Structure formats: structure tokens, C-alpha cells
């Protein structure tokens, strides 16, 4: 299922309050509430009269009921079946004498007339427009009646996005007349298309479609912002110009109208043809006004004379938009530049100056004003807006910079919303600017924040702090403790890396382009990676005890009496370039399972594995947990992208690979929480069901310390909700078994363990 909804556009300023649009919206709302109350009052009475009429008709099948009443009672498509049923009853009743048939027929006719009379008082039929019974009043009143809250709110949204702007440029009287004419014309053309339709036409869609047609001509290049959702999982926003999206919408309405005609040629359902004719009329009228310059000659002078105060930024913005529509980009840029010099904090002016500067190649000049706007937004605590502008600035001019204090505020905001990669990049940039001359408070805050982003950067900042004369000794002691903790983390990570290098399969280099894995140097420390000390002799990641089977590995066929040949079925042809995402899938990556199935030695069963002793040629051996029969072989990975039939991953050992959802047999999710560390979640995608008798259970393991689930659901502000959405998506696409149950997998409530070893014992028990 795909759903698309407009939620805004660039031309979002008006000179005066759109009172006509507001009046129309308020009227529709009030009328809808009143109609809803009236419907609730009359619907029970109609149902009672309808039941009485149907019962009487079936009890006296030898009587005649007119076709119109049959359609009202049973629907046009069901009258034939009803007639066949009545004919059966009529044959049985024909053997009896009906001495009161004339009086009974009169009673049936009275019941039918009473039902029709009551039905004509039903609000939809009373104030709607019925093509078979055309009335002038219905042509007007149908525009304010709606068939439900969804119908009403959808129409009001489209009116709100277009009406105020046409009202602003055309004036209130002209807009009001245009709106009514569009609605009347759309209904009249609908009646022409379905002249015998006896149902009511209701809703403001035809009139609003006229306003949309006028918006297309008047704001031809304006980019409209849309929200989309696909399969209830993939969602986001995008912008597209009016000249592209509105004709597509019109084409879709024409197709839907033709499809509906093929199913129900008599009319009914959604009034697609009313939408089409309303839109066409709006285009024609707006085109005529543009051709004869009606706005410039008659409307604008009168509106401007009534405005006591005109914002100079709005005037420049509006005039620049006109110049841009006419293709006079340099003139539009010059006008915006002159206005920005006078009003450097006017968001609309500076945003348009920057966008136009990028378009014509003057971004370096426009950047000066965008930087001033960013700093002003930070001062006004509009950090999210400032961050968007800053990222836009850096995407075009990487060397551009803002004041150190404002830059730190943005970096801190990125860290708080868990955008670790962007925060780390900005922290590195700030690190090159700080020195002993930097204010002590800023340095200390910078050190505290970078501890959450990257301990290596934090270590360098803390070293500067320790030399700063304005930082008190007790604060320096605290910073020393933080520095010791950071150094301990690095030593532990180095030990883990050395252990991994010892057990790495020859011929399979670690991918240089892989993102930083949890527990490796450069990975974020608490709160994203909890700390624990490594146990001597056991490869353990900083922040969580990991058994040897928790290392990413693949089995290789072992030849009797000799070392194992390396298994290259998962080995990338070449490591990806550092920081470069996978652009496309090779057939091998798509077709090969992830990870490869274990293969036994030819001629006999696989040799039993000895706990704690690595097999030759295997990069990391599984360790037996509490069960002597089972073990878990873990492949650590970071999710990159969710596709229709597979999950793109960056694995620690094999680089970028794809895991087909069909390979996932079970899913387990656990929260690892120890007294000395902050909690985090792990997600195991089992390639064999843990409940089976498979001895060596393979699992792809994802740590929430290694990725931000909001990456896949950017519209979700809450990280836990994004994580639940990710897990739900994988469950639905893979049809895997939630282990041990769906509630715990969806963290409602989560299964909590003190260590990974404790969790694995629970799985294998």
C-alpha cells in the first residue's frame, strides 16, 4: 500500500489573513457537525420504515413495488435477485384468493411514499446535489456537506494548502466568486456525465479542485512538500514542483473516473469527474487572468492601497519569485541580495537567496548571509532549523565555518539525537580550532560531549583541558579520571583487535570501508557502548562480555590431516572504499546466502569441536554454552538498508553483504544491562530455529550501539519507537518466529539479561 499526502510548499507567505478561506473552512466544519447530529436523529427512523416496508412486501409478494423504491431498499445491483425471490413467493401465493389485494396494494404504496418522503429529508439528499433532480439550491449547498470526518479533513487540507495563496493574489471578492463558480461548474458537469444518477453529490472537492488548477498556473514552479508511506513501514518526505505533481494528480483522476465508469456506468462512489472539471476550469480562468495581466492591472494596486504595513522581506520574496518564474534569475538574486543586506535575519529572504545562489553558482557570496542566519537561529534556540541550514551549507561549501560556540551547540545537538557520525565529523572540525586560549567552560563541555561521541577525540580535548590555567584542580582531577577511562577503553579495544587478528582467516582482509563496529577503536563509548573489563584469555568487547562464538565467522571445509582451505564464498572481491556505501548489489551478493552453510569433511561427519580450541582455518570458533549439544555462531553486522526481500548489511568480516529475509528462521531481542554500564539491545537473526536439534546455530547479530534505527525511519523522533518499527519490519518481511515470544521481541516488555553470556544460556537452554 502506498499513501501520498501534500503537507506544505515553498510559497508559504501571504500579505493579509485569508478570511474567505477561513470562512469556507469554518462553515464546512460547522455544517458537518450539524449534519452529523441530524443524521443520527433520522437514521433510526429510516431503518424502521425500511424494515416495515420490506417485511410487508415479502409477506404480500403478489403486490407490485415500483422500481425506484426497490433501488432505494435493495440497491440497483440487487434488484434482479430480489425480483427472482419475490417471483418464487408469488407462485406459492397465487394459489390463494386475495380478496383485500386492492387495499393491500394501497397500503404498500403509502409505505413506499412515506419512505421516499422521509429519505428526501435525509441531510445528504436534502442539501446535496442530485443529478436526476437538479435544483439550484443543491448546486450551492452541496459544497458544504461532507460524508464523514476523513472526507472533510482531506478537503480542508487541500483548501488550506492552496486557497490562502490564490485569495492573496486575486483578492477576497474575486476568490470567493471563483470558488463558488468552480463548485457549481464541477457539479453541473458531473450531472451532464451522469444525468440519471439519483444519489446525492456532496463535498467541496469540485470547488477545491478549481483552486488547485489556479494554483498550478499561478505557482507553476513552486515545490510542494509531500509525506509518503509505503507498506506502513517505509516513510518520509520529498519535494516536487507543482508543474509535475498536479498534472499527475489530474491524470490519476481521469484514470480513476474511467475505471469507475467501467464498473458502475450509472454514477456513484468518488466523484472523480467533478474533480477533473473543477481543475480544468481553474486552469482556464487562471490562464486567462495571467494572459490579460488582470492581477497587475487591477488587483494588485487595489490590494496594496489597503495594506497599511508591508513587510519588505515579503515584498522582495514575492517579487523575486515572479522574476524567477519569468526566468530572470540574476535579477531575482540581486533583489534578494539587496534585501538580505538590510534584513540579514529574515529567514525567507536568506533561504531563497541561498537556494538561488546555489542554482546560479553564487553560493560563496550567499553563504555569508546563511552563516549569519544560522548563528541567529542558534541564539534564538532554533537549533534544529540551524542544523538543517548548516548541513546544507557544508554540503556545498565544506570549508565554510561558523563561530566556535555555535558550532559546539550544533555538535551537542547532534550527539543528543544520536547522529553519531555527523557529530563526530563536527567534533573533529572543532578539535582543530580549540586551544589553550579557548574559554575553560567551552573546553570542559566539549570534552564531556565528545566522550559520548568518540573517546579518541575526547582524549585530545582532555589533554588540552589539563594544561588550561583557568580550569580548577578538582575539575582537572575529574578530567583525569575521564581520560584514564578513555585510555582504558582504547587499550581494551586494542586487545580485542589483536585477538581478532590472531583468529582471522588467512586471505580474508577486514573491509576497510566498513563502519566502526561496536567495541572497536573509534566506536562511541557510553551511553552507546557500555564498558566492562576484558577477562584474560577470553576475547571480550569493551562494554559487554562476548563469548568466542560471538565473533563473526564462517566455516571452511577441513581436509583430513591438514589445515582448512579458506572459505571464500563470502569474501568480497575487493574491500569497499573507506566511507563509500554499496551502490548496487552484485548477483553473487544477492543470490548467496548470508552467511554460508557449514560443510562437512568429504567422506565422513564433521569432527566434534573442542570448547576453547579453534579449528584450523576457522576465523572464530563457537563455544559451548550451558548445553553440551548446542552452540551459537555469531556474525556481527550493521544494517545499512531495508529492501523488499533482503536486508543490506555491513559485516565485520566480509564487508557489505545482503541477507535474504527468507533465510531468517527466528528472531530474538534482548536488553543487556549490568550495574556498571548503561543498557543496550542486541538483535539476533537466527538462520536456524533455536528450538531445532541443530548443534551449531548461526545468527546474524545487530547491536544498537552500532547503528541508529532512526536512520530507517527519519520521521520518528523516539529512538525506541524506531527500533520497534525496524524489528516489526524484519518480522513481517521474514515471517520468522519471534523467540521466545512476540512481546519480548518487540521490547514490550524486553527480556533483560546481565550479560550476553547469560542471554545465550537462556537461548540454548
Residue 147 lies in a domain: yes
**Given the C-alpha cell 537466527, which residue does it identify?**
686
Residue 439 lies in a domain: no
pTM of the model: 0.45
Q: Say what the pLDDT of residue 146 is.
A: 95
Report angle CA 370, 374, 376 to the nearest 5 degrees: 115
Q: Parallel, antiparallel, or unpaired: how do β-strands 666-672 and 696-703 relate?
A: unpaired
Q: Say what the pLDDT of residue 632 is.
A: 86
* Domain hosting residue 663, numbered range: 506-531+543-557+586-598+615-765
Alpha helices in 361-419 (DSSP H): 363-379, 383-396, 404-416
Residue 759 lies in a domain: yes
Whole-angstrom distance, CA of residue 615 vs CA of residue 44:
79
Structural domain count, the chain: 2
138 near 190, Cβ under 8 Å? no
A 10 A CB-CB count for 734 gives 21
Residue 673 φ then ψ, to 5°: -140, 120
646 near 661, Cβ under 8 Å? yes
Whole-angstrom distance, CA of residue 524 vs CA of residue 536:
23
Q: Parallel, antiparallel, or unpaired: how do β-strands 631-642 and 696-703 relate?
A: parallel
Which of 184, 218, 252 marks a domain boundary? 218
Partners of 668 in beta bridges: 684
Q: Say what the pLDDT of residue 284 is.
A: 97
Handedness of CA 704, 708, 711, 717 (dihedral sign): positive
Closest CA to 696 of 755, 636, 634: 634
Whole-angstrom distance, CA of residue 483 vs CA of residue 478:
9
**Residues 691-742: tens digit of each pLDDT:** 877 778 889 999 887 788 888 887 787 778 889 899 999 988 988 889 888 8
Whole-angstrom distance, CA of residue 418 vs CA of residue 569:
35
Whole-angstrom distance, CA of residue 664 vs CA of residue 593:
10
Residue 248 Cα distances to 207, 243, 254, 525, angstroms: 19, 9, 10, 49
**Residues 637-653: tens digit of each pLDDT:** 889 888 888 898 888 76
**Diameter of the chain by CA atoms?**
117
Would you call the peptide bond into 733 cis, given omega within 30 degrees of 0 as the criterion? no
Whole-angstrom distance, CA of residue 265 vs CA of residue 260:
7
436 near 403, Cβ under 8 Å? no
Own/partner long-range contacts of 493-502 (Cβ < 8 Å, ≥24 apart): 493/519, 493/520, 493/521, 493/523, 493/541, 493/542, 494/521, 495/534, 496/520, 496/534, 496/539, 496/540, 496/541, 496/542, 497/521, 499/539, 500/539, 500/551, 500/620
515 near 650, Cβ under 8 Å? yes
Alpha helices in 172-241 (DSSP H): 172-193, 205-218
In the chain, count H helices and then E strands: 27, 11
Residues of the chain with pLDDT under 50: 308-309, 499-628
Q: Say what the pLDDT of residue 491 is.
A: 65
CA 217, distance to chain mean position in Å, is 30
Alpha helices in 432-542 (DSSP H): 440-453, 455-467, 473-502
Amino acid at each position: 500500500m502506498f499513501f501520498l499526502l501534500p503537507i506544505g510548499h515553498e510559497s508559504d507567505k501571504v500579505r493579509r489573513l485569508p478570511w474567505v478561506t477561513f470562512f469556507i473552512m469554518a462553515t464546512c466544519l460547522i455544517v458537518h457537525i450539524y449534519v452529523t447530529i441530524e443524521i443520527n436523529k433520522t437514521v433510526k427512523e429510516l431503518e424502521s420504515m425500511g424494515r416495515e416496508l420490506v417485511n410487508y412486501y415479502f409477506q404480500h409478494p403478489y403486490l407490485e413495488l415500483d422500481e425506484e423504491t426497490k433501488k432505494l431498499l435493495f440497491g440497483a445491483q440487487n434488484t434482479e435477485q430480489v425480483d427472482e425471490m419475490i417471483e418464487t413467493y408469488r407462485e406459492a401465493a397465487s394459489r390463494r384468493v386475495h380478496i383485500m389485494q386492492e387495499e393491500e396494494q394501497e397500503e404498500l404504496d403509502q409505505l413506499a411514499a412515506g419512505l421516499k418522503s422521509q429519505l428526501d429529508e435525509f441531510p445528504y439528499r436534502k442539501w446535496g446535489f442530485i443529478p436526476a433532480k437538479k435544483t439550484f439550491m443543491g448546486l450551492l449547498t452541496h459544497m458544504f456537506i461532507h460524508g464523514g470526518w476523513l472526507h472533510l479533513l482531506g478537503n480542508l487540507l487541500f483548501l488550506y494548502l492552496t486557497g490562502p495563496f490564490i485569495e492573496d493574489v486575486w483578492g477576497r471578492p474575486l476568490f470567493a466568486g471563483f470558488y463558488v463558480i468552480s463548485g457549481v461548474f464541477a457539479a453541473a458537469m458531473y450531472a451532464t456525465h451522469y444525468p440519471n444518477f439519483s444519489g446525492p453529490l456532496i463535498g467541496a472537492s469540485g470547488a477545491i479542485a478549481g483552486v488547485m488548477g489556479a494554483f498550478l498556473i499561478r505557482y507553476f514552479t513552486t515545490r510542494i512538500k509531500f509525506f509518503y508511506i509505503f507498506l506502513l513501514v517505509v516513510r518520509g518526505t520529498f519535494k516536487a514542483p507543482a508543474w509535475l505533481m498536479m498534472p499527475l494528480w489530474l491524470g490519476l483522476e481521469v484514470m480513476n473516473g474511467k475505471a469507475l465508469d467501467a464498473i458502475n456506468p450509472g454514477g456513484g462512489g468518488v466523484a472523480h469527474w467533478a474533480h477533473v472539471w473543477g481543475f480544468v476550469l481553474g486552469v482556464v480562468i487562471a490562464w486567462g487572468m495571467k494572459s490579460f495581466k488582470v492581477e497587475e492591472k487591477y488587483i494588485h494596486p487595489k490590494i496594496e492601497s489597503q495594506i497599511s504595513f508591508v513587510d519588505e522581506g515579503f515584498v522582495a520574496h514575492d517579487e523575486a519569485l515572479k522574476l524567477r518564474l519569468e526566468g530572470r534569475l540574476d535579477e531575482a538574486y540581486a533583489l534578494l541580495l539587496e534585501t538580505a543586506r538590510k534584513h540579514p535575519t529574515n529567514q525567507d529572504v536568506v533561504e531563497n537567496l541561498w537556494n538561488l545562489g546555489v542554482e546560479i553558482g553564487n553560493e560563496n557570496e550567499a553563504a555569508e548571509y546563511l552563516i549569519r542566519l544560522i548563528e541567529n537561529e542558534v541564539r534564538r534556540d532554533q537549533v534544529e532549523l540551524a542544523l538543517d541550514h548548516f548541513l546544507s551549507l557544508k554540503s556545498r561549501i565544506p570549508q565554510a565555518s561558523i563561530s566556535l560556540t555555535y558550532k559546539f551547540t550544533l555538535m551537542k545537538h547532534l550527539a543528543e539525537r544520536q547522529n553519531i557520525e555527523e557529530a563526530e565529523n563536527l567534533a573533529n572540525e572543532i578539535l582543530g580550532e580549540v586551544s589553550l586560549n579557548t574559554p575553560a567552560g567551552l573546553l570542559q563541555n566539549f570534552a564531556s560531549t565528545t566522550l559520548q561521541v568518540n573517546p579518541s577525540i575526547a582524549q585530545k580535548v582532555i589533554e588540552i583541558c589539563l594544561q588550561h590555567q583557568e580550569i580548577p584542580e578538582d575539575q582537572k582531577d575529574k578530567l583525569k579520571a575521564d581520560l584514564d577511562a578513555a585510555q582504558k577503553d582504547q587499550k581494551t579495544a586494542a586487545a580485542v583487535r589483536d585477538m581478532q587478528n590472531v583468529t582471522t582467516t588467512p586471505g580474508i582482509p577486514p573491509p576497510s570501508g566498513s563502519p566502526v563496529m561496536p567495541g572497536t577503536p573509534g566506536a562511541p563509548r557510553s551511553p552507546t557502548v557500555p564498558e566492562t573489563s576484558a577477562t584474560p584469555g577470553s576475547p571480550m568487547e569493551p562494554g559487554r562480555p562476548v563469548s568466542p562464538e560471538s565473533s563473526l565467522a564462517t566455516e571452511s571445509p577441513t581436509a583430513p590431516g591438514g589445515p582448512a582451505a579458506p572459505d571464500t564464498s563470502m569474501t568480497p572481491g575487493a574491500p569497499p572504499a573507506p566511507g563509500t556505501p554499496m551502490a548496487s548489489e552484485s548477483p553473487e551478493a544477492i543470490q548467496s546466502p548470508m552467511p554460508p552453510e557449514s560443510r562437512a569433511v568429504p567422506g565422513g561427519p564433521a569432527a566434534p569441536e573442542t570448547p576453547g580450541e579453534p579449528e584450523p582455518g576457522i576465523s572464530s570458533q563457537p563455544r559451548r554454552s550451558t548445553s553440551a549439544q548446542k552452540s551459537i555462531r555469531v556474525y556481527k553486522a550493521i544494517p545499512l538498508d531495508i529492501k523488499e526481500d533482503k536486508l543490506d548489511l555491513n559485516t565485520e568480516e566480509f564487508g557489505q553483504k545482503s541477507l535474504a529475509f527468507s533465510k531468517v528462521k527466528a528472531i530474538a531481542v534482548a536488553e543487556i544491562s549490568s550495574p556498571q554500564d548503561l543498557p543496550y539491545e542486541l538483535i539476533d537473526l537466527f538462520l536456524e530455529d533455536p528450538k531445532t536439534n541443530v548443534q551449531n546455530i548461526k545468527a546474524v547479530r545487530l547491536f544498537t550501539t552500532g547503528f541508529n534505527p532512526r536512520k530507517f525511519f527519519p520521521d520518528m523522533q523516539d529512538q525506541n519507537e524506531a527500533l520497534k518499527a525496524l524489528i516489526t519490519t524484519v518480522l513481517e518481511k521474514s515471517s520468522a518466529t519471534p523467540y521466545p515470544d512476540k512481546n519480548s521481541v518487540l521490547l514490550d516488555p524486553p527480556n533483560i539479561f546481565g550479560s550476553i553470556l547469560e542471554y545465550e544460556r537462556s537461548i540454548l537452554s
